[in-house]
Chains A and B, each alone.
Chain A
């Protein structure tokens, strides 16, 4: 059973470009969570999605950031007009249910904005 998959693993964007990060949950998992990790910091919750629904986006910046989890295909975290401060590692996790201790983390996407 493949784990949570994220791609790309590394992404370099110039300021002002768009970044698209993809997350494929584990088989049978319909709950996806995105977290951001700044250098030398812990992870910070961004958004929680179920298929076709955003359940909790309390950690998402109000502008430039959006997330979706369509009926078919991976979850996507989209960052428009990236700035240097967006440089971070973005992790997604998935679970079969809302039971938190069942969250499994992907390998992360490391975004660098130049």
Chain B
């Protein structure tokens, strides 16, 4: 069974601190996606990582992908309150007989940044 596991599931941070969210997956997928979800809202695409070693940065967030280790990280630098949200990673399920577009999501990491 294809599994996507995130940790931690809950993260409370002080403003200004750094932290990393981890996403492990059991497929051989070489593509991984990060999304942000605010309470009661839809999903916003943050990063699309399409190959081993891919690194992308946007503001205080940086995502990387190691396909050999089947691991992606989302690093938060100098957190601010506006980053409080739930962050999901996802891989495509096509290698498990699903179609393209069959995204498999982790359970999400609920991030709370406190002043």
A residues neighboring B (CB under 8 Å) = 31, 33, 35, 40-45, 48, 55-56, 58-59, 91, 93, 95, 98-101, 103-108, 110
Contacts and interface: CB of A to CB of B under 8 A. Distances in A.
Which secondary structure characterizes the binding site on chain B? loop
Contacts of A93: 101
B106 A42 contact: yes
A78 B25 CA distance: 32
B42 A48 contact: no
Interface residues of B, number: 27
Contact of A98 (B93, B99, B107, B108): B99
A100 B42 contact: no
Contacts of A33: 101-103
B110 to A, nearest CB: 8
Given A101-B50, A106-B42, A107-B41, A45 B93 contact: yes
A100 B103 contact: yes
A90 B96 CA distance: 23
B34 to A, nearest CB: 11
A45 B102 contact: yes
Given A42-B106, A42-B107, A101 B41 contact: no
B12 to A, nearest CB: 16
Interface in B44-88: 44-45, 48, 50, 88
